[in-house]
Every structure is written in C-alpha cells, then in structure tokens.
Amino acid sequence: MNSELKIYCVGGAVRDQLLGLPVQDHDWVVVGGTPEDMAARGYQPVGKDFPVFLHPDTHEEYALARTERKTSRGYTGFAVYAAPDVTLEQDLSRRDFTINAIAQAADGSLIDPYNGIADLRVGILRHVSPAFSEDPVRILRAARFAARFGFTIAPDTLALMRDMVNNGEVDALVAERVWQELARGLMEKKPSRFFETLRSCGALARIIPEVDALFGVPQPPKHHPEIDCGIHTMLVIDDAALHDYELEVRFAALTHDLGKGNTPKDILPRHIGHELRSVELVKQLSQRLRVPGECRDLALLAARYHGDIHRAKELRAETIIKLFQSADAWRRPERFTQLLQACSSDARGRTGHENDAYPQEDYLLQLLAVARAVDAGEIAKQCANSSAIAAAVQQARIRAIEALVGRRVQ
C-alpha cells in the first residue's frame, strides 16, 4: 500500500472559503494513489467513468488525480487518465475557471498555479486552459457563477464561449443538463445575469430561443415602453429572487410573457393572442427541456391568467370562480398562492415600480378563503337532483364572494 498519498481539498470549497461564504460540500483530490490504495484504506468506489471513492466515515468524495482528453462532441465525450503519475497541477488544469482551480493542502497552504486567487479578488471568471471549449456545460456554469457571484467574464473566455456557440459545440447539450443548470441559475441571487451571460455569447438563442426572442420587442404602450419585453422579464425574475420565491414561481416569472416574442409564423400563427401564444410556447419549452411537472404547470397558469389576475378587482364574481377552478385552487391553494407570487413579480418588474404593493394578492386570497368556506357537502344534501349539485355549489360561492366585497363584482 502506497503511504505517499497526498490529499488536497479543491474546487468550490476552497473558493467559497476564500470568499468568506459558507462551505456546503468538500471535494478532494488524491495524488499518487491507485484504486487499490483507496480500497485498502476503506474507501468505497462509486465512479463509473473515472476513479471516485467515498470516505469511510464522512462519505465525502475523493477522486484520484486525473487528466482528460476530448474524444467526441458534448460534455461526456472524454477519455480519462487517472494514475499515480498525474500531478496536482495537471488535475487542476482540466478545471473550468481559475477560481475553481485552487487547492488546499492538509497544512492549510494554498496551491494556486493558475492565479485563481487574483481573479477572486477582482471578480473575474477566467478559463484555465483552451480545453475549456471542449465542454459546453461550462457555458452554463459561467452563466450560473455570474449570477451567483456577480463576477464578469474575462474577454478571452467570452471569446471562447462565442466560438463554442458558432462551431455548434453548444448544440450537444442534453435537455436534462440544460434544465439542471437553468434551475440552479434561476435560484441564484441575481438570475438575470445568468441569461444576460448566455445572451452575450449567443448561447441563449440556441438553448432557450423563446426567452431570447423577447429582447428588442417593445412593451405595449401601457406597460412602460421604455424597457423591452426581455428587460422586463429580467426585472421580473430578479424580483422573484429578491422575495426568495421557490423555483416553480421563478420559472413561471421567466416564461409568463413568452408569447410577446418574435416567434416565427411557422411555429405559432400570429393571430393567436399573446397569452395563448405564451401557453403554447411554455408547453414547447417544457417538453424540450423536460421541465418537471410542478414547474411546467405553474408556468402554464401564469402565462394564461396573469392578465386576469392583474385586473382582479374588475372581474365579475363568476369570472373569479372560473379562475379558481382553472387553477384548481380548491384542492391546491398553495399553488394558487405561488401563482399570485409570480404575478406580483410581474407587476413589480417595471422601472419605478420595484417597491409597489400588489393588492390583488390579498384580495384574491380573501375571496378564495370565502369561496372555499362554502359547505359543498351540505348543499349536496339539499339537492334532490344530483346533477344540479355542481351548479348550486358554484352559485353559493358566487354569492359568498359578492357578500364579501359588498357589491356585485363588475
């Protein structure tokens, strides 16, 4: 058994520690070892494509130092070489950004062969080597780190990202990985930077063309025409992040206005209203990226009904009841609350309205509470004809809403 193993903490744990951020997980690199050495120390192998092991006590991942060679297009097209002669510097050279290519030895000393500490200090995302361009996922990671840390992309790194788009490397991204990074990007502190970064290198038009199509499209005159639909959408998702809304709400905020984009006529006819166009585009996007059902369903509701919700106090009681029914608010009041959150971010996503209240939220929740309080079981007992029960319950709910607002809702 080799007693000369050297173990280093690498990647995000070192980076976040230097930034003064909480460290969630640790990644470790083992230099000078073999799978047999790891097994002899009680580590459990888990890596399929390269040697990764779980610590017998902490269960953290320990990977043998390795190099990679590009063999085919996409983020899985690599041949991996892991052996005792691979150095720490060689292992770090295959990483994406200099800020993730810093290692810490057991004595606390830092190994920084690619000047990642300097880039951390000035807030720069810079690729470690030209091999960056071999993995299209790194474009998405650049966008996500920009959203998380507020860092800027180094000019030469941005140029590489543009080359990856132009040569088609970005087209090799699989739907599951795009969604994974998109979801993480939406949950960052400033999600607009995720999309702005993708747009700056041309990747947004290839990965999420429905969102890219919003930029440059003027807002309707009554909706603050000084910003276009793309900028408005960015303000909306940043508001959702500011209020710490859940992923479902943030995805709905992102996609609520897709129908306003310059969608080619061969995809959707122009005569369809923008809300119905938005619904169709949300369906297409969700199917293509395999978006989870909870996110897709809330986004469809926001796309279809955000205009009605904004006009809630103008709606007749019958229309409000139909809104509750369409949103399945009787059984899913928590999802209806999420829908209202997405609409509130939409309302605040306009210049000068960032701190506005959204009275429609409390108003509709009050009406929903009153309507849900109607005793459908008691009404059913009083109906001689079972086919009349649904209509009777609906009328009772309408009357309850009218009684609450003190007048017939127009």
3-state SS of 155-203?
HHHHHHHHHHHHCCHHHHCCHHHHHHHHHHHHCCCCCHHHHHHHHHCCC
For residues 32-48, give the mean pLDDT: 84
At 287, which amino acid appears?
A: Q
- The pLDDT of residue 330 is above 60: yes
For residues 107-112, give the mean pLDDT: 95
Q: What is the residue extent of each domain of the chain?
A: 1-120, 370-410
The crossing angle, in degrees rounded to 10, of helices 317-326 and 389-405 is: 120
DSSP-assigned letters across all residues of 331-375:
T-HHHHHHHHHHHHHHHH-STT-TT---HHHHHHHHHHHHHHTS-
**Percent of the residues in the chain that have a pLDDT greater than 90, as a whole number:** 63
Residue 45 tokens, joined: 């192998």
Separation CA 330–CA 358 (nearest Å): 22
Separation CA 223–CA 238 (nearest Å): 18
- pLDDT tens track for 272-312: 577 889 999 999 999 999 999 999 999 999 999 999 999 99
Dihedral class, residue 274 (left if φ above 0, else alpha if ψ from -120 to 50, else beta): alpha
Coil, strand, or helix at residue 406?
coil
For residues 157-166, give the mean pLDDT: 96
Residue 275 CA to chain centroid, in angstroms?
22
More confident residue, 139 or 409: 139
Separation CA 329–CA 331 (nearest Å): 5
53 beta partners: 45, 62
For residues 110-121, give the mean pLDDT: 96
More confident residue, 62 or 252: 252
Cα–Cα distance list, 351 to 118, 236, 340 (Å): 36, 11, 20
For residues 214-234, give the mean pLDDT: 82
Tally: H helices and E strands in the chain: 19, 11
With vertex at residue 177, the alpha carbon angle to CA 241 and CA 155, rounded to the nearest 5 degrees, is 70
For residues 101-117, give the mean pLDDT: 95
DSSP-assigned letters across all residues of 210-238:
HHHTTTTPBPPTTS-TTSBHHHHHHHHHH
More confident residue, 382 or 28: 28
124-125 vs 152-153, strand pairing mode = parallel
For residues 353-357, give the mean pLDDT: 81
Confidence of residue 221 (pLDDT cuts 50, 70, 90): low
Mean pLDDT, the chain, whole residue set: 88
Is-contact 298 342, C-beta < 8 A? yes
Q: Looking at the chain, how many residues does it have?
A: 410
Radius of gyration in angstroms for the set of CA atoms belonging to the chain, rounded to a whole number? 26
Name all contacts of 73-78 with Cβ < 8 Å and 24+ positions apart: 73/168, 73/169, 73/172, 74/136, 74/172, 74/173, 74/174, 75/135, 75/136, 75/137, 75/172, 75/173, 75/177, 77/134, 77/172, 78/49, 78/134, 78/135
- pLDDT tens track for 70-104: 555 545 555 667 778 889 999 999 899 999 999 99
CATH 3.40.50.2000 fits 1-120, yes or no: no
Q: Which of 312, 333, 311 is nearest to 401 (CA)?
A: 312
For residues 358-368, give the mean pLDDT: 95
